[in-house]
Structure 1
Amino acid sequence: MPFLIAAVVLVGAIATLNLLLTVGVIRRLREHTAQLADVGGQGGPSGPVVGDPIEDFTTTAVDETPVARADLDSYALVSVMSPGCGPCEEKLPKLVSMLEDGTLPKKSVLAVIAGDEEEAVPMVTALKDLAVVVREEPVSGAVQSAVGIRAYPTMFTAGEGKVASLVHDLAKVKAKVSAG
């Protein structure tokens, strides 16, 4: 009988400890949810929203083409991707396919590859003949800082020094360019 009482007390103690740990985990999840909501209030997790101003910047493409904020309005699409990013790796073949069909000429697409030089080689190689390609350090690059990019991939169009639209579907860009 004393063993049975000891077992019941032990099970009760373990259940109480489990309850306390669960309450602690729930409290931490609420804190993290609040922190994520704060980040979302600054333009969303991936960066810019339509109408955000684009700060002045200058940089150079891998083919030595100068790129500045004033040039962004002339691009039909600005794509910011990073090597090792799963969604970026999924979008890259679609972007390459769209560019290879000739709907968008090379000078109308700016592709920013955010990654160290070695990791960026496959993406730069895939896009260098199809778009103006800029390779930058992640997050701190000139284009990313000017636009407010915080996650990859981010695709947008610019107009009048502001983010004109966010691009989620490359087919819509192709249709828009074909129509206009």
Structure 2
Amino acid sequence: MVYLSIGLLLVGAVTALNLVLILAVIRRLRRHEDERKRLFGTENLESGPPTGEPLPAFTAVATDGTLVDSDALRGREAALTFLSTDCSVCVTAAADLPEAARLAGMAAEQMVVVIAGDEATAREMAAPLDGVAKVVFEEAAGPLSTLYAIKGTPTTVSVDPEGTVTYARAGTNPVLDRLPA
């Protein structure tokens, strides 16, 4: 009987400790979410060109040496994703892009990924994107990010076959969020 009482006491203590830790995690997540809302002011940070506008014209050189430009994206749906090397969420987003491309049925010519920041880190982030997307490196707040009015990363800009922006938002993983379930 003594062992049973001690066992129940231990289970109760572990359960109480678990509850305290869960409450601490929830409080921390709420603080983090409040801070994000305070900084950005909205649920989804508007980032990129306005929806319904033509895709801003650009020309860049991809990491494989090929020329990437806005005209090459016309005639089919396309996506541009802007990532940053100093964004921890962007590393996950870069790793998720191959699956997103597969699910969306997009060829590498339809996806452009712009990675801003340190080139060595950008190369590591770009590794899973080989053959999946055209990758362009630029310095932080580089010419493409400035042209596209990128306010936060990761940002995805979707374009219809006519070259009109259909979606432009920043978020934890906007590419996967836009895919059908």
Percent identity over paired residues: 28
Please give the residue correspondences for 1:62-77 in structure 2 after superposition, counting only pairs within 5 Å: 62-73=63-74, 74=76, 76-77=78-79
- TM superposition shift of 1:139: 1.6
Indicate the structure with greater helix content: 1
Q: What amino acid maps onto 2:94 in structure 1?
A: L
Matched, 1:103 2:98: no
Matched residue of 2:132: which SS? coil
- TM superposition shift of 1:156: 1.4
Cα offsets for 1:80-117 (capped at 9, x unmatched): 11112022123222213333668322222111111231
**Contact 2:73 2:110 (C-alpha < 8 Å) held by counterparts:** no
Cα offsets for 1:26-56 (capped at 9, x unmatched): xxxxxxx8x977xx9xxx6533331344433
Q: 2: CA distance between counterparts of 1:169 and 1:81?
A: 12
Matched, 1:170 2:176: yes
- TM superposition shift of 1:79: 0.9
- TM superposition shift of 1:75: 5.0
| Residue of structure 2 in register with 1:59 after alignment | 60
Q: What amino acid maps onto 2:178 in structure 1?
A: K
**Contact 1:54 1:161 (C-alpha < 8 Å) held by counterparts:** yes
Q: 2: CA distance between counterparts of 1:101 and 1:158?
A: 17
| Residue of structure 2 in register with 1:153 after alignment | 154
**Contact 1:75 1:107 (C-alpha < 8 Å) held by counterparts:** no
Q: How many residues align?
A: 136
Change (3 A) 1:36 1:95: closer
TM-score, normalization by structure 1: 0.61
Matched residue of 1:96: which SS? helix
Matched, 1:119 2:121: yes
| Residue of structure 2 in register with 1:91 after alignment | 93
Structure with higher Rg: it is 1
Matched residue of 1:84: which SS? coil
Change (3 A) 1:129 1:53: same
Matched residue of 1:77: which SS? strand
Matched residue of 1:107: which SS? helix
Q: 1: CA distance between counterparts of 2:142 and 2:175?
A: 26
Please say which of residues 79-88 and 163-172 is displaced more in the overlay: 163-172
